Amino acid sequence: MEKRIESIQKKTVKTYEKLFYDEVDVFGEHVQDKIYVYNRLVEMLAENLDFDIIHAHDWMTFMAGIALKNRYQKPLVIHVHSLEYDRVGHKDASWVYHIERYAMSKADKVISASDYTKGLIESNYGLSSNQITTVYNAVSMPEKIEDFGIKKGGKYKILFAGRIDGNKGIEYFMKIARNVLQRTDNAEFIVVGRGKGKVSFDKIDGFNEIAPHFKYLGYVERELLFSLYQNCDLLCMPSISEPFGLTAIEAASMSLPVVLSTKTGASEVLHRTPKANFWDTEIFANHIISIKNNRKLRETIIQHNLEDVASLSWTSSAQQIHTLFNSILGYA
């Protein structure tokens, strides 16, 4: 395994200028080369820094973290916001998975974004529970919320916000839409997010049935996304595997009812919001129709969710990490 990782790090880098200073797609071609360049730059920057601990966020930074640990003999904390296992759905399918697994094996501690992700790490990356600490994310409100041109009223607006890929459950969202439209035609389904390359829904089974009720807005900035939270009627998140699900927490904080997949970290925070297995599109549709038709239920869900998200803050999350650092360094 170590030889495999070393071979990835030693990929030939033709020029720093081409990979780092031109306007390039970070996740386009030569990703391994770009990561190698990043590793080297981090090592050079660290030569002039005085530090006690290394905190590496997600797979792109993990090898740099290991290099610093080896060079300076400092403890390494790996922070997992998402997993390659989430993205591809199985092990051994990607060199990224092997980087993640290798880095976690070298870390002094691993932080996960949820207990759900913690369980996946235990099951698929060979770590024990006591090696992993869960720290939830929190919500950062934008300084201003810009008008998107979509207003409340008219048809009942159901929002999907996330990457357009299998992992986020876009095909299940389409099935949920069909199920809802069999019971009411007073519904509109709004999708925001981008995928790899050009996004096309035409090939999704049954799309033509819901097309008149469907609106795809592409990628939107956070200020505009919060405008959608304000002006839609419900957020639907049928994710197949979601490490946390910050979109759900943001929506709940904006008093937008949320229906969640059980395979989400956010479901650990939004204890009382309606949930269903991602594949059970009928149950999802039942929840949506019930919330649409029952004002008291809607208000109860909103209130419960506001109470639940009130427990989250970046200050609290930072304090948990600070306490963990002190423990690793022997200051606790």
Query: CA-to-CA distance for 110 and 125, rounded, in angstroms?
Result: 11
Residue 114 has a CB neighbour count (10 Å cut-off) of 24
Does residue 305 sit in the same domain as residue 217? yes
Residue 37 identity (one-letter amino acid): V
Reported as a single tens digit per residue, the pLDDT across 221-248 is: 888 899 999 999 999 999 999 999 999 9
Does residue 204 sit in the same domain as residue 106? no
Output the DSSP codes for 120-153: HHHHHS---GGGEEE--------S-----S--SS
Does residue 49 sit in the same domain as residue 88? yes
**9 within 8 A of 3, measured Cβ to Cβ:** no
| Count of the separate structural domains present in the chain | 2
Does residue 181 sit in the same domain as residue 282? yes
Does residue 11 sit in the same domain as residue 52? yes
φ/ψ (deg, to 5) at 9: -65, -30
Does residue 111 sit in the same domain as residue 195? no
Does residue 173 sit in the same domain as residue 194? yes
Domain range for 276: 156-309
pTM for the model stands at 0.85
E strands, 84-226, are 109-112, 132-134, 156-161, 187-192, 214-218
Dihedral over alpha carbons 94, 98, 103, 109 (to 10 degrees)? 90
Whichever domain contains 129, its CATH number is 3.40.50.2000
pLDDT, position 21:
42
Query: CA-to-CA distance for 184 and 148, rounded, in angstroms?
Result: 26
Reported as a single tens digit per residue, the pLDDT across 288-310 is: 999 999 999 999 999 999 999 99
13-22, 38-47, 88-97, 306-315: lowest mean pLDDT where? 13-22
**How large is the average pLDDT for residues 309-320?**
95
Reported as a single tens digit per residue, the pLDDT across 244-292 is: 999 999 999 999 999 999 999 999 999 999 999 999 999 999 999 999 9
Does residue 97 sit in the same domain as residue 161? no
Query: CA-to-CA distance for 149 and 147, rounded, in angstroms?
Result: 6
Asked if residue 150 is part of any domain, the answer here is no
Query: CA-to-CA distance for 45 and 52, rounded, in angstroms?
Result: 15
